[in-house]
Chains A and B, each alone.
Chain A
Amino acid sequence: MAKKRDTRAHLASHLMYGVCIAAAAVIVGTLVLITGYLLAIGLHSLHWSFFTNLPRSDPPGMRNSIEGTLILVLLASVVGIPVGTAAGVYLSEYEVDSMLAVPVRFVCDVLAGVPSIVVGILGYELLVVPAGTYSGWAGAMALAFIMVPIVARTTEEMLRLVPRSYREASIALGATKARTIVNVVMPSATGSLVTGAMLAVARVAGETAPLLFTAVGSDFVVHDPAKPFPSLTLRIYELSNEASPAARAQAWSGILVLVALILLVNLAVRYFTRRRVAR
């Protein structure tokens, strides 16, 4: 009797062992399927004119959208990275468990989970409605809003990894707290701070929803952020609603460029963090 139960338990165990392997295989397989499609269709329709032409020219391209995304992300970084880094330094170096630090850390995590469309609507209410026009500024600020909590939390975590003895040595040599942070703690974590910032950049570069009601998109080359602004993701979304196969091919090319960009950032981050750990 006991033996029979045992064999049944072993059978179930073997079965679940297989199920776990299958689950991992299915996930990896799905990834391969999705990226395989992106590569197969995207590469097929990718042409040099994609990078040099405008949406209205023949053959159409996405030069203005690529530029737009780069400018939007740059503007967002200029605001989002300093604010996020400052908050991260505060959480790691100044207050760890104070009355203010605990809620700030908590709010950071909560903000990181706010749906990005809601952030876009905030940008619309605060920046688009008063200005009376959709603008690149509104889009960039919405992206910055998403960056801040991500940068803050990674900065905090990375600074925490800096050994305590570094800070003690610096203070013992007579440096002020500010000097210690700026000259000792942050430089020794530069690599990982850049990593965190790059991940945040990669994240917002692929965002569409916060730009829908802020930057809205444009078919032209725009360099003035006070006007409606083009973006790669917005253009892809726009194209996905068009029926023609040419538009579809353009959309796939856009996605391919976007995903390649994000994959490159992720690989670079991985490469740099590995070197840091090995050292």
Chain B
Amino acid sequence: MTATVSPSSAGPMLRRGRSGEDVLLRVAVTGGALAILGMLATLVLVLFVAALPSMRRFGPAFLFSSEWRPNALPVLKLDGHGHTIRDPRTAMKVVDHYRAPAFGAGASLFGTVATSTWALLLAVPLSLGAALFLVRIAPVWLVPFVSFLIEFLAAIPSIAYGLWGMFVLGPWMGGPARWVRVLGMQLPAGIESRIGALAIHVPGLRWICTTSVGGKTVLVPPTGRDIFVAGIILGIMIVPIITAISRDVLRSVPREQMEGTIALGATWWQSCREMIFYCRSALFGAILLGLARAAGETMAVLMVMGNTAAVPTSPFMAGTTLSATLAGEFPEAATSDLQRGALMEVALILLVMSLVFNIVARYLVIGKWQPSAATAH
């Protein structure tokens, strides 16, 4: 009963049975992998095709024009002196011709750049400081606790930040300077007015709180729904990403590097600077991932930006971003093909921007360690 099966007889049969399972699983998982490539291809292709009408019509000027006019604009007929002409019978002003609807992403692009800049100005020093705290200062027992809190900040949905920005941060920042009670404490509100009151006296900073109306420079009344507030909210939102990644990057710096600087007599901060310098490109990648998130964020920005399609000249003015334009305009756009195309082109710009940021960031961070998909958002 020694059932020695000779390889020659049982081999092929066994192999056939086995290879059936193997082939099945291989096909299934390869399908999953190909699906991922297909997803990106579909995304790019669909947006590109849908954006074609707008791209054909406006060309590269779309990127710079800040005109966003879904309706045709009547241009009045003028006489030789530049006065309007009235129809003698109806007393209505005579329309010479209509200017076709025009679209441009200029204002949205500007808003995205402006809010992202404010967000980075706020988030980068905070995040790097906190990352250094976690790597070089915090006692061992405190690290997991602070790490969890920062990761929880990343898990809060953006609509929660939006609501908080709309109903709590906005009213604090906007309006006239005054004091408010917050959770039992007396805190200053109308912070933008306070900043404006200071900035107006500094010649180089007047742009912060002023704008020009009809050639005259006037103070901007802060409303609490503007570029600056959006920047702060975005800054809070990207802090966890930059902190988590730069913490891991800083941890990957070899211990000898740090010990060497200390042995040479460097102070704590000098050795920190060496550490930062050592992994500067990966840290830059971390910042870029934060920027990618800030530039693509929709809901929080939509809720605190005020959403006007004009280019704001002061950070205390309302504006719009690429994603806010999409979210705010899209539902009405199905009526006009051109407007839909323009919105699709805005989406395409947003997609390309996020692809570029992400690709460069991965390229910089890769090699030292791999950012996981979970920490990227």
Q: Which residues of A contact B94 (CB under 8 A)?
A: none
Report how far A125 CA is from B167 CA in the complex, Å. 33
Q: Which residues of A contact B162 (CB under 8 A)?
A: 237, 240
Contact B164 A20 (CB under 8 A): no
Contact B43 A262 (CB under 8 A): no
Min C-beta distance of B56 to chain A, whole Å:
18
Contact of A20 among B132, B161, B355 (CB under 8 A): B132
Contact B362 A109 (CB under 8 A): yes
Min C-beta distance of B236 to chain A, whole Å:
6
Contact B43 A114 (CB under 8 A): yes
Report how far A36 CA is from B134 CA in the complex, Å. 24
Decide yes or no whether A227 CB sits under 8 A from chain B. Answer: no
Q: Which residues of A contact B289 (CB under 8 A)?
A: 113
Decide yes or no whether A43 CB sits under 8 A from chain B. Answer: no
Contact B359 A153 (CB under 8 A): no
Q: Which of A121, A122, A124, A212 gathers the greatest number of chain B CB atoms within 10 Å?
A: A121
Contact of A21 among B18, B43, B137 (CB under 8 A): B137
Decide yes or no whether B74 CB sits under 8 A from chain A. Answer: no
Report how far A34 CA is from B172 CA in the complex, Å. 14
Contact B125 A23 (CB under 8 A): yes
Identity of the chain A residue whose Cβ is nearest the Cβ of B303 in the assembled complex? A240
A67-87 interface with B by 8 A CB criterion: 82-87
Min C-beta distance of B128 to chain A, whole Å:
8
Contact B29 A114 (CB under 8 A): no
Min C-beta distance of B267 to chain A, whole Å:
4
Q: Which residues of B contact A207 (CB under 8 A)?
A: 157
- The answer to whether residues A112 and B297 also contact, given A23-B130, A107-B36 and a CB cut-off of 8 A, is no
Contact of A13 among B151, B163, B267 (CB under 8 A): B267
Contact of A153 among B47, B161, B373 (CB under 8 A): B373
- The answer to whether residues A240 and B163 also contact, given A20-B133, A122-B47 and a CB cut-off of 8 A, is yes
Contact A117 B43 (CB under 8 A): no
Contact B36 A121 (CB under 8 A): no
Decide yes or no whether A278 CB sits under 8 A from chain B. Answer: no
Decide yes or no whether A145 CB sits under 8 A from chain B. Answer: yes
Min C-beta distance of B353 to chain A, whole Å:
9
- The answer to whether residues A113 and B358 also contact, given A9-B270, A31-B153, A266-B151 and a CB cut-off of 8 A, is yes
Q: Which residues of A contact B146 (CB under 8 A)?
A: 24, 28
B4-32 interface with A by 8 A CB criterion: 18-19, 21-22, 24-26, 28-32
Q: Which residues of A contact B327 (CB under 8 A)?
A: 117, 209, 212
Decide yes or no whether B218 CB sits under 8 A from chain A. Answer: no
- The answer to whether residues A266 and B155 also contact, given A31-B149, A182-B25 and a CB cut-off of 8 A, is yes
Contact of B37 among A9, A88, A104, A251 (CB under 8 A): A104
Q: Which of B130, B137, B303, B355 gathers the greatest number of chain A CB atoms within 10 Å?
A: B130
B265-279 interface with A by 8 A CB criterion: 267-270, 272
Contact B43 A122 (CB under 8 A): yes
Contact B373 A19 (CB under 8 A): no
How many A residues touch the partner, as a band? 35 or more
Decide yes or no whether B219 CB sits under 8 A from chain A. Answer: no
A1-41 interface with B by 8 A CB criterion: 9-10, 12-13, 15-17, 19-24, 26-28, 30-31, 34, 36-38, 40
Identity of the chain B residue whose Cβ is nearest the Cβ of A10 in the assembled complex? B267
CB-based A-B contact count at 8 angstroms: 287
Q: Which residues of B contact A208 (CB under 8 A)?
A: 157-159, 298-299
Contact B373 A154 (CB under 8 A): yes
Contact B160 A118 (CB under 8 A): no
Q: Which of B82-90, B200-208, B344-352 contacts A (4 or more CB under 8 A)?
A: B344-352
Min C-beta distance of B60 to chain A, whole Å:
21
Report how far A154 CA is from B374 CA in the complex, Å. 7
What string of 1s and 0s marks CB contacts (under 8 Å) between A120-148 and chain B?
01101110000000000000000001001
Report how far A206 CA is from B281 CA in the complex, Å. 32
Identity of the chain B residue whose Cβ is nearest the Cβ of A262 in the assembled complex? B155
Decide yes or no whether A193 CB sits under 8 A from chain B. Answer: no
Report how far A114 CA is from B295 CA in the complex, Å. 10
Decide yes or no whether B309 CB sits under 8 A from chain A. Answer: no
Min C-beta distance of B359 to chain A, whole Å:
6
Decide yes or no whether A89 CB sits under 8 A from chain B. Answer: yes
Min C-beta distance of A244 to chain B, whole Å:
13
B293-334 interface with A by 8 A CB criterion: 293, 295-299, 303, 323, 326-327, 330-331
Contact B21 A178 (CB under 8 A): yes
Decide yes or no whether A66 CB sits under 8 A from chain B. Answer: no
Decide yes or no whether A236 CB sits under 8 A from chain B. Answer: yes
Decide yes or no whether B1 CB sits under 8 A from chain A. Answer: no
Contact of A94 among B30, B40, B159 (CB under 8 A): B30
Decide yes or no whether B339 CB sits under 8 A from chain A. Answer: no
Decide yes or no whether B371 CB sits under 8 A from chain A. Answer: yes
Contact B43 A103 (CB under 8 A): no
Q: Which of A46-54, A56-64, A196-204 contacts B (4 or more CB under 8 A)?
A: A196-204
**CB pairs A–B below 8 angstroms (18 shown):** A13-B268, A27-B130, A27-B153, A34-B236, A103-B37, A108-B36, A111-B36, A112-B373, A113-B377, A115-B295, A115-B323, A117-B347, A125-B46, A176-B18, A203-B377, A236-B159, A258-B160, A259-B160
Report, nearest first, the 8 A-B pairs whose CB atoms are least far apart: A206-B157, A86-B32, A23-B129, A115-B296, A153-B373, A13-B267, A87-B32, A13-B269
Q: Which residues of A are at the interface with B, using a C-beta cutoff of 8 A?
A: 9-10, 12-13, 15-17, 19-24, 26-28, 30-31, 34, 36-38, 40, 82-91, 93-95, 100-101, 103-104, 106-119, 121-122, 124-126, 145, 148-150, 152-154, 157, 176-179, 181-182, 196, 199, 202-203, 205-209, 212-213, 233, 236-237, 240, 248, 251-252, 255, 258-259, 262-263, 266, 270
Q: Which residues of B are at the interface with A, using a C-beta cutoff of 8 A?
A: 18-19, 21-22, 24-26, 28-37, 39-40, 42-43, 46-47, 50, 125-130, 132-134, 136-138, 146, 148-153, 155-164, 166-168, 183, 236, 239, 243, 267-270, 272, 289, 292-293, 295-299, 303, 323, 326-327, 330-331, 343-344, 347, 350-351, 354-355, 357-359, 362, 371-374, 376-377
